[in-house]
Amino acid sequence: MTPNAARLPMLLLAAGLVAAALRVPRAPEARFLVPPAVTPGERPAPRPLYRLIDLPQPTPSAHASCVLPLHDGDLLVAWFGGAREGARDVAIHMARLRDGVVEETWVSLTRERLQALVHRVIRKLGNPVLWLDTAGRLHLQVVSVSYGGWSGSAVNHLVSEDGGHTWISGHRLILSPLFNLSTLVRTPPVMMEDGTIGFPCYHEFIEKWGLWTRITAEGRVLEQARMQRYEGGRLQPAVAATDPTHAIALLRSGSRHQRRIQRNATEDGGQSWPQRRALPIANPDSAVAMIRLEDGSLLLAANPLETGRGILQLFHSLDAGQTWTPLRIVSRSDEPGAEFSYPFLAQDASGTIHLAYTHLRQGIRLCSFNLEWLYLENPPPKPLVEPSAGTGGAP
């Protein structure tokens, strides 16, 4: 028997194991939780609001922030900070804000504490994502690395009962058949009608692709669906649902040849994600943020450049993401190496929109504004028409 023939059974066995691991049991049909759009006139129109806050900088470097509006009107912001990205002293920092004022800041999670919670070696921390379940409990998805770089990452799920000061339980999500490595999170979850949570994830080892994962509030994985990719790397999907079965995903381009924001869409509640045409908006291999606003439109924050991250701009869509209108530039600098990156968007119950982002890799900046400020220069048609069913799957 030749050496190649001798290896064939082992290769077939390995292929079979991988295929079996990828067959996550299909969960019952899912539907996105999409609140009815707030039409003009339902609440008194306030004056245009715009507020810029630089959060405290307890470390030389800060990156990958997220923002979460709480039920009492406060805001939680989380990010990772340390000597530099990937350093052993990197921890998850948090701040709580009330009425635009920082009330307190603290170190929420160290790698030593995460190591004790999940009983794994932890060398690096990154990419925190906060969310609330239907019972109001605070959850954290956070990326960790045991060995190697970010391509060796795993995702951990933690729960807090004191607003993120301590984490009482945690475990590592099983998201990849490759030793459960190379799966990361970056963007906010999408709530489902049945109380489960849809998480946009991504794979980064050798090849890069988006991954849709649905979990329970306890962190049990129900289903996964790979976002279709014909060519080029794509990662860090930001997902917005446009009706109970349709949603779009906008992705960072990891390809040197496709410097455009990439796009996938689903028409079946997230069970499949065909690739769509890329947006005509440049992307310099940089993260994007997108949310559905309370009026039913979509808001995008991105670095619309082929190279560099020196401009952070907002874009607006009235047709479920088929076309985008450029709106305000939030930050801009022509200085070499200037960076305004990794945006994260959220809208609170009052209608105020909050945009957190990395400012020059030194700190986290929070920009808060309302629709009146956003539409001041580019008012939308009145009244705003709710996107019709099916537009989420347009090519």
The answer to whether residue 37 scores a pLDDT higher than 50 is yes
What token pair was written down for 302?
């991105």
Burial of 224 from C-beta contacts in 10 A (0-12 / 13-18 / 19+): buried
pLDDT of residue 26: 53
Report which listed range, 84-88, 120-124, 238-242, is most confident: 238-242
pLDDT of residue 174: 85
State mean pLDDT over 224-238: 91
Looking at every residue in the chain, the average pLDDT score rounds to 88
Contact yes or no for 343/302 (Cβ under 8 A): yes
Cβ-count burial 34-52 (b if 16+ within 10 Å, e if not): beebeeeeeeeeeeebeee
What token pair was written down for 247?
């949603």
Maximum Cα interatomic distance, the chain, rounded to a whole number of Å: 81
State mean pLDDT over 223-246: 93
Confidence of residue 351 (pLDDT cuts 50, 70, 90): very high
Catalogue all structural domains in the chain, each as residue range(s) with its CATH number.
48-393 (2.120.10.10)
* CA–CA distance, 164 with 138 (Å, rounded to integer): 7
| Helix or strand (DSSP H, E) at 159 | strand 153-160
Task: Count CA atoms within 13 Å of residue 220 on its CB side.
Answer: 7
Contact yes or no for 40/56 (Cβ under 8 A): no
> How far, CA to CA in Å, does 77 sit from each of 9, 129, 150, 319?
51, 9, 23, 30
The answer to whether residue 384 scores a pLDDT higher than 50 is no
Q: Which of 190, 197, 188, 202 is nearest to 215 (CA)?
A: 197
The answer to whether residue 47 scores a pLDDT higher than 60 is yes
Chain segment 184-198, per-residue pLDDT in tens = 999 999 999 999 999
* CA–CA distance, 113 with 252 (Å, rounded to integer): 31
State mean pLDDT over 280-291: 97
Chain segment 111-143, per-residue pLDDT in tens = 999 999 999 999 999 999 999 998 899 999 999
pLDDT of residue 57: 95
Q: What are phi and psi of 133, to 5 degrees?
A: -85, 180
Chain segment 64-82, per-residue pLDDT in tens = 999 999 999 999 999 999 9
> How far, CA to CA in Å, does 369 sit from each of 49, 333, 366, 375, 394?
5, 21, 10, 11, 30
**Predicted structure pTM score:** 0.89
| Helix or strand (DSSP H, E) at 16 | helix 3-22
